[in-house]
Amino acid sequence: MRGPHNIWRLIRTGATLERAGAMNVVLDAFEATPTLRFVARALGLPFKFLGYRGDPTMPPATRALTALGPAYIKFGQVLSTRPDVVGDELAVQLRVLQDKLPPFSTEQAKAAVEHELGLPLEQIFSEFSPSVAAASIAQVHRATLVDTGEDVAVKVLRPGIEKAFRKDIDAFYLAARLVELFSPGSRRLRPMDVIEHFDGVVRGELDLRLESAAASEFAANTDKDEGFQLPAIKWNHSSRRVMTLEWADGVSMGDNAAIDAAGHDRVALSNRVLQLFLSHALRDGYFHADMHQGNLKVAPNGNIIAYDFGIMGHIDEYTRRVYAEILFGFIRRDYKRVARVHFEAGYVPADKDVDEFARALRAVGEPIFGMDATHISMARLLAYLFEVTERFGMETRTELILLQRTMVVVEGVARSLNPNMNIWEVASPIVTDYISKSIGPRAVVTDLANTAMVLARFGPRLPGLVEDALMRQTNPPQVDRRPRKRWFVLAGFVGAMTGIGALLLIDALF
């Protein structure tokens, strides 16, 4: 339950931030008001001795979050995708946040597998290795299936992780309310929405059936993509707390020496990883939102292998078209069109001046396009774009931020393979193809066909709906203005619920 009892958790959090020297870093990143700074310091400074010490070799923010435990580590990872909220400097710190924790014992993992799958381990796996990777929520073991002899990866949730996350997320909600209460300017960044987004991400990762379903959907979307493969889910050996999938053999995408030694073409790989991401985002509206080197391998045949499907991004068709038009506008340096797209989508308030916004966008784009093509950076473009949209009152949109942040990560992966890549040349064919299919004459025909299908589906109900509407117009219902007992009962009920709601709000805030 969210409420005052979570203040103790916030005190422990503040104390750890103070002890690790991260309090000012965090407050500066959020551009905290004097009032919010006072509240934060009051929750941390007097209790500094209660804070966890952490690893002094780490930067302050990562030191504090790793000391506070798995929920805070995961929250830091999610915030690293939100430079609009925490600023570029802190986002960079959080991106290098270690995603490794001491593993829990192999015996605990075996017991969890037996409990979840309902069979003795020996009847499922002929071999079951110690942990090969341990993260904030789960750890992975390599195993061999008894029935087929196939090597698989077995992902097992940490014991008690659900309860630990629920407690910390409740404290995060209280912290977000305090931020909104004492820092009104932060409401544009919607702290409560950030926590709700984090809550949704974590809930998905705490049920491995959902991750398995995400992997299955992603595989169905991408099964015809050349040079890309996903490990298959072993549904018979998966459950809520255990996920079994094919073992992915290959070299890490982050190991250029191993990639070269295996004879792979890094230039081709860099182009492919960027184009694959854009295809998944624009074509399917469903993309891997944690596509860093640690979740990518290069198979012996040169295919790119992706795994770890805990964080997936989804954007609807309309948002995809908006995003593609923004990218296409920048590629063609048509800033007036980019500005109009922002206004048409409602991203920028209608009372702002579209021409002024277009000039601000030109100030973003022209310095970048004045550079050598190999130095044009999507990360720099988006950083500038955030500054402009903030100045014009654009509210944070979680679905776009996740997409844009993943774009920056993928660009980083591509450039690590080929520092000389021209991101616009590589992206242009994918974006142009999507634009031609989704915004041109072909798209109009498709939209009309989809509309006709919807009308056909509801066709049998249309005559009745029209008749009801006409009857209401010709015979409007007579309003009985005489007071009746039920209205008094209803008013009393509404008053009581309002009072209860006010009490709950006060409890949540204070």
The CA distance from 10 to 18, in Å, is 12
Per-residue model confidence (pLDDT) at position 167: 80
Per-residue model confidence (pLDDT) at position 506: 42
Q: Is the pLDDT of residue 481 over 80?
A: no
| Stretch (H or E) spanning 130 | strand 125-134
Per-residue model confidence (pLDDT) at position 235: 95
Per-residue model confidence (pLDDT) at position 450: 65
Confidence of residue 385 (pLDDT cuts 50, 70, 90): low
Centre a 10 Å sphere on the Cβ of residue 219 and count the other Cβ atoms it contains: 16
Centre a 10 Å sphere on the Cβ of residue 148 and count the other Cβ atoms it contains: 9
- pLDDT, tens digit (0-9, with 9 covering 90-100), for 156-208: 999 988 888 888 888 888 888 877 777 666 665 677 877 887 787 777 788 99
Decide: residue 384, CB within 10 A, 0-12 exposed, 13-18 middle, 19+ buried.
middle
Confidence of residue 221 (pLDDT cuts 50, 70, 90): very high
pTM of the model: 0.71
Better-scored residue on pLDDT, 222 or 28: 222
- CATH H superfamily, domain 105-157+207-247: Phosphorylase Kinase; domain 1 (3.30.200.20)
Per-residue model confidence (pLDDT) at position 490: 43
In 3D space, the residue among 12, 9, 88, 92 whose CA is nearest the CA of residue 54 turns out to be 12
Decide: residue 125, CB within 10 A, 0-12 exposed, 13-18 middle, 19+ buried.
buried
Q: Is the pLDDT of residue 326 over 90?
A: no
Catalytic residues: 290
Per-residue model confidence (pLDDT) at position 347: 79
Least confident residue range of 19-33, 117-131, 337-351: 19-33
Per-residue model confidence (pLDDT) at position 440: 60
Per-residue model confidence (pLDDT) at position 327: 75
Per-residue model confidence (pLDDT) at position 70: 80
Q: Is the pLDDT of residue 139 over 50?
A: yes
- pLDDT, tens digit (0-9, with 9 covering 90-100), for 22-37: 888 877 776 677 877 8
User: Tokens 């072993």 sit at which residue?
Assistant: 234
Q: Is the pLDDT of residue 478 over 80?
A: no
Give the mean pLDDT of the chain. Answer: 80
Per-residue model confidence (pLDDT) at position 203: 78
What is the arithmetic mean of pLDDT over 445-465? 68
Confidence of residue 502 (pLDDT cuts 50, 70, 90): very low
Confidence of residue 378 (pLDDT cuts 50, 70, 90): low
Q: Is the pLDDT of residue 98 over 70?
A: no
Per-residue model confidence (pLDDT) at position 505: 41
pLDDT more than 70, % of the chain:
76
What is the arithmetic mean of pLDDT over 103-116? 95
Per-residue model confidence (pLDDT) at position 317: 85
β strands within 294-401, DSSP E: 296-298, 304-306, 312-314
